Amino acid sequence: MSLKREDPRINRVCDYINQNLDSELTLDQLSGVASLSKYHFHRLFTVFTGVSVVRFIQLMRLKRASFRLAFEQEQRIIDIAYEAGFDSPEAFSRAFKRIIGQSPTGFRASPEWPQWHSKFQFDMPSGGTLKMNVEIMNFAETPVALVEHKGPREQVLNAVGQFIAWRKETGLSPVKTSQTFGVPYNDPNTSAPEDFRFDVCGSFDGEVPENGYGVKSGVIPGGRCAVVRHRGSHDNIDESIYYLYRTWLPDSGEELRDYPCFFQYLNFINEVDECDLLTDIYLPLK
């Protein structure tokens, strides 16, 4: 039996796991989702992703827990442990430290994002050949508050944490009523890590008051843009970006404007399952 990277059976299972992290997930159940014999399913899943299905489930639960720890300071560690399927905070702490490399308390205080990223470097379903709906629209000039990150891509979440902390402390640019954007000024796959720049932004009218988080005023310029919606993990958003540049743009007859592509985050990892994340990618046009 041959296995393709975009095998829809394994893709279905990964989506099912991410949508049911709070449920008991058995080999019989997951092999049924894949429509595969359980005797073959486990091997195929490991060949496809590089990890066992049990390991994958644990990693996905710990990944969600790590976002809770870093960005939801009001959540108690014991509650995060139970949500992740552990019987006690002690068992959660041991597993978290063994896999992530920091204790939950230490990660909450100062997450080591580059090390964290390395724990999730395994193949994920690509969903097959991309067929994406691209629309052209006029984006209105948007004043923003922003935190500028410069350095390795894996450390962008430090800037995200700063921006979230500023939002919560000041009540300015509230997440429920303002728009949230990301602006990558270069391609992290081709830039030197120290040269990568990424702005974390929230719509905000007026001047940003002086603060200790490094948040300042900025603007995302208005103009024509090609827009495509990326569904799922931000880890594979490059696929959608490259689709715009490599597949759509050459046949579109359009020319690029002198501003980088940018993202609008329509929901957040602490609100929905990772597979249900929605991100609009804007490609500025003349």
Question: Does the pLDDT of residue 235 top 50, yes or no?
Answer: yes
Distance (Å, whole) CA 22 – CA 85: 7
Q: Per mean pLDDT, which range of 4-18, 92-106, 186-200, 208-222 is the poorest?
A: 4-18
Question: Does the pLDDT of residue 228 top 90, yes or no?
Answer: yes
Mean pLDDT score, 18-40: 87
pLDDT tens figures, 49-64 = 878 898 899 999 999 9
Mean pLDDT score, 209-227: 96
Q: What are the φ/ψ torsions at residue 256 (nearest 5 degrees)?
A: -80, 145
- pLDDT at residue 151, rounded to an integer: 94
CB 226 within 8 A of CB 283: yes
Letter string b/e over residues 171-209, b meaning 16 or more CB atoms within 10 A of that residue's CB: ebbeeeebbbbbbbbeebeeeeeeebbbbbbbbbeeebe
Mean pLDDT score, 75-79: 94
Q: Which of 139 and 191 is assigned the larger pLDDT?
A: 139
Distance (Å, whole) CA 84 – CA 276: 18
pLDDT grade for 130, boundaries at 50, 70 and 90: low
Question: Does the pLDDT of residue 2 top 70, yes or no?
Answer: no
Report percent pLDDT > 70 for the chain.
93
- pLDDT at residue 285, rounded to an integer: 93
- pLDDT at residue 3, rounded to an integer: 40
pTM: 0.75
Q: Which of 10 and 124 is assigned the larger pLDDT?
A: 10
Mean pLDDT score, 262-282: 91
Mean pLDDT score, 231-258: 88
Residue 177's contacts (CB-CB under 8 Å, 6 or more residues apart) are none
SS3 71: helix
- pLDDT at residue 6, rounded to an integer: 56
Distance (Å, whole) CA 125 – CA 49: 8
Question: Does the pLDDT of residue 272 top 90, yes or no?
Answer: no
Question: Does the pLDDT of residue 203 top 50, yes or no?
Answer: yes
Question: Does the pLDDT of residue 5 top 60, yes or no?
Answer: no
Q: What is the mean pLDDT of the chain?
A: 88
Q: Per mean pLDDT, which range of 76-90, 93-107, 108-122, 206-220 is the poorest?
A: 108-122
CB-based contacts of 95-104 (< 8 A; 24+ apart in sequence): 95/58, 95/62, 96/62, 96/65, 96/66, 99/58, 99/59, 99/62, 100/62, 100/66, 104/65, 104/69, 104/77, 104/80
